[in-house]
């Protein structure tokens, strides 16, 4: 059957959609994670903590749809990447899921008992549920940029040759701190835009500092990546319309390879600059300007720039192999079939606008600020 879009074009479209879904998760669920990670520092009393928890309480479940969409897209459109990444990062993903499980339990049980010790336990559970995923997911990205120790056997089954401790290397931890600080800024901006009083002021101050720190760490990671970490490059001409078999190509670790795309298309330099500008603009808007809504938009733009920087730097690689470079997974050899990608694209074009419209409607209905009096009067508040 002749399809209206050729195979290479569909692969590029799904690479772009994967980036959109990952950025969407980082932006939409990122402020939930970030605000939870700031809970012990921005709230000085039980009333303050209830105020911050209620700022994200009505929306955090809907925001996690982006995590499900991202994981589902990887599973269906990039099955080889799903298999290699989720087996290689199994222990790390277990930590993320265990931490995420603490969030619904913390939201539901925290206010069931008025005992301060009971509430303190669940406050720290919510902190872990926010900080650990933000840190570990950044660590995973840092390892992907360096290459992951996996190979394929004769049946194209992936085999991972590493462990959790090996993932905690210096550059990966730096990437994790970039993730944690930029999501903390995003959460602080959203929380400050939804609340009033001293808690809002503390969030603004913390968010401004976190944004400056995130920008500095992001710049440091870029310098380190360009000067001290080898990238990966396809040796010879890339076969963009071939079968999804990574072992058919030749690839090698090459110094400076992650900068090659910027040399071929200089306009791509705008991508990391957008990331830096967004983080710094949000820091300024949370500082003396005290415009948290604008800061939320700016930090979201910064997060999108940071996520896109990783994608455009690594293209066409998605998950390089540090043990056997030719086994690295790329846009051209790790996707599902031509027909599968087309059918999935049709479904995405139908359902993605529905998700976006519903999300916009929810945030419109829930617009406005919270105060402690409103929370005390509402029986269903957290």
- State how far the Cα of 15 lies from the Cα of 77, in Å rounded to an integer: 9
For range 165-190, the mean pLDDT = 94
pLDDT of 132: 95
Strand partners for 154: none
Name the nearest CA neighbour of 25 among 59, 55, 65, 60.
65
Q: How far apart are CA 223 and CA 231, in angstroms?
A: 13
Which pLDDT band holds residue 377 (cuts at 50, 70, 90)? low
User: What would the pLDDT profile of 249-278 be if each residue is shown by its tens digit?
Assistant: 999 999 989 999 999 999 999 999 999 999
Q: How far is CA 225 from CA 144, 228, 251, in A?
A: 12, 6, 19
CA dihedral 200, 204, 207, 213 (to 10 degrees): -150
Residue among 39, 36, 153 nearest 102 (CA): 36
How much is the pLDDT for 207?
A: 94
Element (H, E) at 150: strand 150-152
pLDDT at residue 50 in the model: 86
Per the prediction, the chain carries an average pLDDT of 90
pLDDT digits (tens, 9 = 90+) for 9-31: 999 999 999 999 999 999 998 98
DSSP secondary structure code for residue 268 in this structure? G
Q: How confident is the model at residue 212 (pLDDT cuts 50, 70, 90)?
A: very high
Q: How confident is the model at residue 375 (pLDDT cuts 50, 70, 90)?
A: low
Query: Per-residue pLDDT for 153 more than 90?
Result: no
| Mean pLDDT of the region 345-350 | 93
Q: 314 is written with which tokens?
A: 């690594």
> In 3D, which of 82, 19, 3 has the Cα closest to residue 316?
19
338's CB contacts (< 8 A; 6+ apart) are 3, 7, 10
* 371 has a pLDDT exceeding 80: no
Beta-carbon contacts of 379 under 8 Å, excluding residues fewer than 6 positions away, are none
Rg (CA), the chain: 21
Q: Is the dihedral of CA 272, 171, 67, 283 positive or negative?
A: negative
List the one residue out of 232, 235, 222 whose CA is nearest residue 315: 232
Summarize pLDDT for 284-335 with one digit per residue, the tens.
Answer: 999 877 899 999 999 999 999 999 999 999 999 999 999 999 999 999 999 9
Q: Are 49 and 57 in contact (CB under 8 A)?
A: no
Give phi and psi for 244, each to the nearest 5.
-85, 75
Domain ranges of the chain: 7-377
Handedness of CA 97, 98, 102, 104 (dihedral sign): positive
Q: How far, in Å, CA of 196 to CA of 144, rounded?
A: 40
pLDDT (0 to 100) of residue 300: 95
pLDDT at 381 over 80: no
SS3 232: strand
């Amino acid at each position: 059957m002749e399809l209206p879009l050729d195979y290479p074009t569909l692969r590029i479209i799904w690479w772009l959609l994967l980036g959109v879904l990952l950025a969407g998760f980082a932006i939409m669920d990122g402020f939930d994670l970030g605000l939870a990670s700031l809970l012990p520092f921005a709230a000085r009393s039980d009333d303050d903590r209830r105020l911050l928890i209620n700022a994200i309480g009505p929306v955090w479940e809907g925001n996690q749809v982006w995590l499900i969409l991202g994981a589902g897209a990887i599973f269906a459109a990039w099955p080889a990447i799903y298999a290699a990444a989720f087996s290689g990062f199994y222990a790390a993903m277990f930590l993320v899921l265990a931490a995420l499980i603490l969030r619904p339990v913390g939201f539901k049980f925290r206010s069931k008992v008025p005992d301060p010790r009971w509430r303190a336990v669940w406050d720290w559970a919510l902190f872990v549920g926010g900080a650990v995923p933000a840190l570990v997911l950044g660590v995973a990205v840092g390892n992907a940029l360096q290459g992951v120790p996996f190979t394929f056997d004769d049946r194209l089954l992936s085999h991972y040759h590493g462990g959790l401790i090996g993932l905690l290397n210096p550059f990966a931890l730096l990437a994790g701190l970039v993730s944690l600080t930029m999501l903390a800024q995003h959460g602080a901006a959203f929380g400050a835009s939804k609340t009033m009083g001293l808690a809002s002021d503390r969030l603004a101050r913390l968010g401004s500092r976190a944004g400056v720190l995130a920008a500095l760490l992001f710049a440091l990671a870029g310098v380190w990546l360009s000067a001290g970490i080898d990238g990966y490059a396809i040796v010879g001409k890339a076969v963009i319309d071939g079968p999804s078999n990574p072992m058919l190509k030749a690839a090698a670790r090459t110094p400076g390879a992650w900068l090659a795309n910027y040399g071929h298309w200089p306009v791509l330099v705008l991508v990391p600059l957008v990331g830096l500008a967004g983080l710094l603009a949000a820091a300024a808007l949370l500082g003396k300007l005290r415009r948290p809504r604008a800061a939320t938009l700016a930090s979201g733009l910064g997060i999108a720039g940071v996520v896109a920087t990783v994608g455009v730097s690594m293209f066409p690689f998605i998950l390089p192999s540090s043990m056997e470079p030719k086994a690295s997974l790329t846009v051209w050899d790790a996707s599902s079939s031509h027909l599968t990608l087309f059918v999935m694209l049709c479904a995405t074009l139908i359902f993605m606008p529905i998700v976006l419209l519903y999300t916009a409607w929810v945030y419109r209905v829930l617009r406005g600020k919270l105060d402690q009096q409103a929370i005390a009067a509402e029986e269903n508040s957290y």
